[in-house]
Structure 1
Amino acid sequence: MELKRNVGYAAAKLVEDGNIVGLGTGSTTLYFLEKLGKRIIDEELEILGIPTSYQSFLLAKENGIPVTTLEEHSIDIAVDGADEVDSRLNLIKGGGAAHTMEKIVDSAADKFIVIVDDSKVVDKLGAFPVPVEVIPQACRTVSDHVKQFGGVPALRMGQRKGGPVITDNGNFVIDVKFESIEDPAYLEKELNYIPGVVENGIFFGVTDEVLVGSSEGIKSLKK
């Protein structure tokens, strides 16, 4: 938790007065939102946030961060976590089932910064299953399709409720395990071509910078 706090706080320091900020989802971005809210109060900053989930919306409100929408504003900087980051700064996201809106917001930002601890940095994507958001009626057919790419699909089930996880968009999530992902760009596109898929958790070529928290401090990775 200390590593997540440190890197989340460091990212909050990069936000400038007047920025429109994409607000990511997850356990690391929680600390980013906490610090950003404190800066708004202490430094009297004029900042608006665009949440990527109900979680980040509620945390923004809790921390005093005014919110807006993509319909009203463009995004200067987005800050979000990741489940995996490879050597070329490609990502797997979606552990929190918010990757569809995260991809929309993060891709729209002038600058997209990823915050992770060093356990999330890998040479090649694939250890973490790829989350695929699907229309509920297409669950079986999408599962059949991903097997053709060598994936092993599993419908994500709720931990404290009966039945499957339901996304903020009212859909299901299929977690697809691959032995390794040799070509993230190709797989991202091919998964999205499957009828019934809303979006998948591979983020290829979107990241501008990764801040990595470790016991030795915070390291910046750039393209």
Structure 2
Amino acid sequence: MSKDSVPMFKFIVVGDQSVGKSSFVKQYSESQFIEGMSRATIGVEFIKKLVTVDKRRVELQIWDTAGQEQFRSMIKSFYRGAAAVFVLYSINQRDSFEKLQDWLTELHESAHEEIVKILVGNKSDMERNVQKEEAEKFMNTNNFSLFFETSAKTGENVEKAFVEAVKLVIMRMFTSDSFKNSIKTTKKTPASSKQNTSRSDQPISDITSFPTKPIQLQSNHTQENKHKKKECC
């Protein structure tokens, strides 16, 4: 990778509704947790984040997807070009763990076979209904590269999960041409890096975040209702 350019990696976060995907992303991007945050993601939302890992500057484009069944078919297209996927379940919601196989089936149908897969048991600050040993067995059986139990509330292992994912993506880029050619990688030289090149050797904890407006994919039912309102008004 050229020192004058910053590669962009697309990460996607999937899992059942209410496992804490949005809180997981918000904790990483803004180091914040909103108590009682219950607004369901509609379609897909994303943020951009400029990070430094092992003295390499990388821009992450993190896609937070909806867990509702009605959006599943639309979300499949967002696997295209993704370098890594975080598959979340909640350690206090047994059913979210039991549905992981459904998410894996979708992932295998839509993503590149070499995509970096990270299994995440979120809400580790709550009472456990899924044992860690069960998750580790699931990880090994289904060839996940990494497994973390995280807490979007306390921040436990959230940053670590992303840092280790970035490291694996960079490593895989150098060892697999098919992976490198499959991922959505955009190299660019941001103005900020020209003005302050000393940032390139700063630690991962010193991160600039670029939140963006949500992208909302609407179900056919919602679109039909809007169309009817326009006709009658």
TM-score, length basis structure 2: 0.25
Between Structure 1 and Structure 2, which shows a larger proportion of helix residues?
A: 2
